């Protein structure tokens, strides 16, 4: 569906964003004018409601076999975040919110075609971002999985950075993990740090958050102080972890991520 009072439209194909070649990297987070879908044989976008009074955006989910129009380009959505922030400090979230909301919603719609209770086909709810079962009336909302990410600082002002098996070679980031049922966020932080690197922490402080639709996360960023223990990596997720000084750092996560934001805050001296 499509109304006049909208921000525009995002076009996705799987985990990639599609834009005309004329769109610069710095504008990738901005929705395209509605007229561009005429180049895509007038596909009908889905209207994604805005947040806190913001105008809604449209999202188009192209089938994998759909041909890309001439003079358009495909960009992996993870790479979009880095391209948008090249040469600037990563924000907490800011301009990435509409595109994250649109991408998250498209993924969720793709995977919620049928009711989780009776298996009947779902349809879009008329007045909210939800799926409605056509038979039993069950309502399903987009899935959001809370996850913590934390920068740990010791008494020498060093930060703990870790290499996860899923990272590119040489890249180090922060300890992170999903909140489990019955846990407070502080409990999750203490458990993840203990399990992955064998340390204890204190003075846990919330810093910022970021929607991270890979696939359904809300990243909640914290800082904490080292309280004891020696580094013992689990060998399952974490291959290596070390204390780093500000002037001797490994390769870091890309700009635009909450992990890089927390690291940059430490590098700037904001976390003592």
* pLDDT tens digits along 213-271: 888 999 999 999 999 999 999 999 999 999 999 999 999 998 888 999 999 999 999 98
Q: Is the pLDDT of residue 92 over 60?
A: no
- Exposure string over 79-100, b if 16+ CB within 10 A, otherwise e: ebbbbbbeeeebbebebbbbbb
- Structure confidence at residue 204 as a pLDDT band (50, 70, 90): very high
Which pLDDT score is estimated for 41?
61
How is the chain split into domains, by residue range?
Answer: 9-109, 113-143, 145-267
Which pLDDT score is estimated for 89?
39
Which pLDDT score is estimated for 26?
83
Q: Is the pLDDT of residue 198 over 70?
A: yes
Give just the sign of the alpha carbon dihedral 126, 128, 133, 135.
negative
Which pLDDT score is estimated for 93?
42
Cis geometry, peptide bond prior to residue 215 (ω within 30 degrees of 0) = yes
Reported pTM: 0.85
Q: How many CA atoms lie within 13 A of 51 on its CB side?
A: 9
Say which residue, 160 or 68, is predicted with more confidence: 160
CATH number given to 145-267: 3.90.79.10
Which pLDDT score is estimated for 66?
85
Question: Do 113 and 142 form a contact (C-beta atoms < 8 A)?
Answer: no
Which pLDDT score is estimated for 67?
85
């Amino acid at each position: 569906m499509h109304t006049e009072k909208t921000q525009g439209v995002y076009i996705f194909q799987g985990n990639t964003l599609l834009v005309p070649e004329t769109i610069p990297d710095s504008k990738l987070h901005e929705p395209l004018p509605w007229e561009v879908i005429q180049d895509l044989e007038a596909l009908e976008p889905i209207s994604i409601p805005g947040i806190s009074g913001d105008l809604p955006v449209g999202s188009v989910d192209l089938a994998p076999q759909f041909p890309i129009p001439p003079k358009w380009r495909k960009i992996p959505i993870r790479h979009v975040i880095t391209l948008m922030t090249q040469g600037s400090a990563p924000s907490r979230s800011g301009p990435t919110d509409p595109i994250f909301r649109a991408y998250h919603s498209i993924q969720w719609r793709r995977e919620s075609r049928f009711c989780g209770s009776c298996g009947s086909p779902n349809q879009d709810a008329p007045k909210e971002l939800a799926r409605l079962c056509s038979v039993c009336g069950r309502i399903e909302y987009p899935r959001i999985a809370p996850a913590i990410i934390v920068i740990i600082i010791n008494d020498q002002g060093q930060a703990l950075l870790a290499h996860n098996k899923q990272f590119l070679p040489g890249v180090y980031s922060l300890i992170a993990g999903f909140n489990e049922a019955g846990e407070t966020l502080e409990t999750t932080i203490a458990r993840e740090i203990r399990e992955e690197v064998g340390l204890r922490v204190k003075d846990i402080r919330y810093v910022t958050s970021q929607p991270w639709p890979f696939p359904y996360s809300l990243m909640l960023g914290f800082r904490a102080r080292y309280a004891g223990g020696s580094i013992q990596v689990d060998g399952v997720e974490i291959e290596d972890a070390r204390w780093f000084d500000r002037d001797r750092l490994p390769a870091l996560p890309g700009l635009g991520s909450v992990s890089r934001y927390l690291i940059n805050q430490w590098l700037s001296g904001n976390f003592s």
